[in-house]
Amino acid sequence: MNILKIATLIVSCFGLYGCATSEYFIKPGINLNGFEYVGIYGDNAHNIQTVLGDLFERKGVKVISKTQFNRMTESDYNRLMLCEVIYRYTRGLRYYATIYLNIYNSNKDKIFSSNGEKWSGGISGENSDARNALELAFDEFAKKYERFNPIYTVDLLKQMKDEFNDWEKIGLTESELKIKLSSYSSDLNPIEGIWSSIEDNQYRLGIIRETNNSKRDFVAFILETDNPLWEVKQVKIEFKSTAYKSVFSTTYFMSDHSKQGTTSFINDKGILEIKLKNPEDNSELNTAFIKNYPSTNEKSFVDINKGNSQTSGTGFIISESGLIVTNWHVVENSNSIEVFFPQINKTFDATTVIKDSKNDIAIIKLTDFTFSKIFNNPIPYPISSSNIVKQGNKVFTLGFPLGNLLGQTSKLSDGIINSLYGIQDDPRLMQISNPIQPGNSGGPLFNSSGEIIGIVVATLNAKYFYENADIIPQNVNFAVKCDYLLNLSSMLPEDKEITQRTNKLKGLSLDKQVEIISPFVVRIRAK
């Protein structure tokens, strides 16, 4: 029997309009009426995505675009379906179109699938066959979907968190971790300590050596996170030492808790870099962390060989108990510290409470000080981490350049952020265009919203620059990022007051901000 006869036989068996079939699958326990939205992707031959969108809309399901998807809230995601369209058309002894619909929730669990198949013998045409097959596949969904009802919506976030309730945890708080690390501080591995993710500030991790598990030498656990799928104390990364001190075989647990094997290393700037793959498209993901604690043995970028018996600098008050921030090089090796408040023409003695010598930060405390006797208003400025800072941001500082040679009151200096890094991309520093003079050391660097984002460093170590870049700097000014100040404040009883302060300056003009800030900026003299 020739092909023409066979084709004729098929047409006569199935009739002029051919034959149609469909079938479906639905995940047990799923009620499709708990979904309100759908996003459609996949094949779009014969404009079938638009046709499918119309079919969903007729059933009361709202079709969303990619832009709308990116604006969805967490509760919206619980009500979202993602529908994949697969289209196949076969020509030969039989002409038939097949449509597969695979529907997932926003956790990418398949909750429903169906297919429709339309045989026509090539008479009705591919376009018609495709649409008929699509309608058949959709009919299986339509039979299961009446209308959106929120009582059937599943809290996917809670479901996922419940799934990982038994995830391994390290039973240490941040303060307990610091105590443990200090107990063997002389023997710390460079990877041990507290680290924060650089790009998105999503994780703050504690890394400590392993003593009970031979499969890893160090383990990272969560101290803080913005990721709702992870909890404090859960294990996030496992490290195994290699023959190279700063290179580690690494097991990284992704956002969805899936495991990925990779290599991590601490670069020459002290940044922990972990190279990952995006599970969606296998592209590279570069994850980096900066060390917050303890201080590293980096070269100091300030001139520690001052040779002066007296130094002068600037400081700013950060607590009602009388804590003042300044540069360490301003008060280092001093026998006495005097803090002058120009607004009331009064001087207080002070003592050093805590310091970070490698990052040139000191917190001193006033003696015989009562906040309410000097100030009628609360401290107006919050302290912010460097993740909000952008290159080109406008900034300003108040300070006492050249000590009291230019007068008793603080002087304003404004500029922009030239670079988010110091020399040779030193992550501790920001380069600023503000004119800075000796005496500005320790002054606060504000952004246009009145947030303190840095501490001005006026006395730079020329030897440090020469050894690292073979230059002697001129008119190159920097500020230490406030991440290191926040790290110091976390060790103080006043930490909550310091880090949770309300911003009283946002939206005000520069002259009004300066007026409000000035009483809280002080001149420091160390002998």
DSSP secondary structure string for all residues of 342-386: TTTTEEEEEEEEEEEGGGTEEEEEESS--HHHH-SS-----B--G
Q: List pLDDT tens digits, range 49-94.
A: 999 999 999 999 999 987 888 788 878 889 999 999 999 988 766 7
Mean pLDDT computed over every residue of the chain? 85
Name the range with the highest mean pLDDT among 146-155, 352-361, 488-497. 146-155
What pLDDT does residue 122 have? 56
Give the Cα-Cα-Cα angle 97, 33, 87 (nearest 5 degrees). 15
Task: Output b/e per residue, 256-268; b: 16+ Cβ within 10 A.
Answer: eeeeeebebbbee
141: helix, coil or strand?
helix
Q: How far apart are CA 314 and CA 440, in angstroms?
A: 6
* Rounded-to-integer distance, Cα 323 and Cα 352, Å: 9
Q: How far apart are CA 102 and CA 195, in angstroms?
A: 41
Count the residues in the chain. Answer: 527
Over pLDDT 70: what percentage of the chain? 86
d(CA 398, CA 408) in angstroms, rounded, equals: 13
Q: How far apart are CA 53 and CA 262, in angstroms?
A: 41
Give the 3-state secondary structure of residue 399.
strand
Find out whether 138 and 61 touch, Cβ atoms under 8 Å.
Answer: no
Q: Is the pTM of this model over 0.85?
A: no
**Residue 119 near residue 20 (C-beta atoms within 8 A):** yes
One-letter amino acid of 251: T
> Prior bond to 519 cis, omega within 30?
no
Which residues have C-beta within 8 Å of that of residue 106, sequence separation ≥ 6?
77, 78, 80, 82, 156
**CA-angle at 322, arms to 316 and 327, nearest 5°:** 40
Task: Name the residue ranges covered by the structural domains of the chain.
Answer: 3-157, 174-293, 311-526
pLDDT of the residue at 4: 34
What ranges in 368-482 are assigned the alpha helix state H? 371-374, 462-469
pLDDT digits (tens, 9 = 90+) for 140-155: 999 999 999 999 998 8
Residue 393's Cβ-count burial label (10 Å; 0-12, 13-18, 19+) is: middle
Please give the CATH architecture assigned to the domain spanning 311-526: Beta Barrel (2.40)
Q: Give the Cα separation of 340 and 321 in Å (integer).
A: 16
pLDDT reported for residue 296 = 59
In angstroms, the Cα distances linking 435 to 125, 223, 350 are 76, 39, 28
CA–CA separation, 114 and 109 (whole Å): 15
The answer to whether the CB of 114 falls within 8 A of the CB of 141 is: yes
Same fold, 3-157 and 311-526: no
- What DSSP letter does each residue of 15-68 carry, written as one string? -TT-EEEEEEEE-TT--GGG--EEEEEE--GGGHHHHHHHHHHHTTPEE--HHH
pLDDT tens figures, 112-140: 999 999 886 555 678 888 999 999 999 99
Q: DSSP characters for 240-270? A: EE-SSTTEEEEEEE-TTS-EEEEEEEE-TTS
Q: What are phi and psi of 3, to 5 degrees?
A: -60, -40
3-state secondary structure of 220: strand
Which stretch of 41-50, 67-76, 98-107, 317-326 has the lowest confidence by average pLDDT? Answer: 67-76
pLDDT for the residue numbered 8 = 34
Does 395 have pLDDT greater than 90? Answer: yes
pLDDT at 183: 67
Question: What angle (nearest 5°) sits at the alpha carbon of residue 398, between those of residues 396 and 403?
Answer: 140
* C-alpha to C-alpha distance for 234 and 167, rounded to whole angstroms: 7
- The topology under which CATH files domain 3-157 is Rossmann fold (3.40.50)
Give 203-259 pLDDT, tens digit per residue: 999 999 998 888 999 999 999 988 878 899 999 999 999 988 889 999 999 988 889
Among candidates 401, 183, 431, 222, which has minimal Cα distance to 313? 401
Q: Does residue 485 surpass a pLDDT of 60?
A: yes
Between 378 and 462, name the one with better pLDDT: 378
Residue 280's Cβ-count burial label (10 Å; 0-12, 13-18, 19+) is exposed
Contacts 24+ apart (CB under 8 A), 203-212: 203/227, 203/230, 203/236, 203/289, 204/292, 205/236, 205/237, 205/289, 206/170, 206/172, 206/174, 206/177, 207/237, 207/239, 208/170, 208/172, 208/177, 208/180, 208/181
Task: Supply φ then ψ for residue 179, to 5 degrees.
Answer: -65, -45
CATH of domain 174-293: 2.40.128.520
Q: Is the pLDDT of residue 272 over 90?
A: yes
Contact in structure between 355 and 363 (CB atoms under 8 Å): yes
Give SS3 for 392.
coil
What pLDDT, on the 0 to 100 scale, is given for residue 474? 55
Distance CA 366, CA 363 (A): 10
Q: Which of 66-75, 157-166, 173-182, 312-321 has the highest mean pLDDT?
A: 312-321
Q: What per-residue confidence (pLDDT) applies to 118?
A: 87
Q: What are 94-103's pLDDT values in tens digits?
A: 778 899 999 9
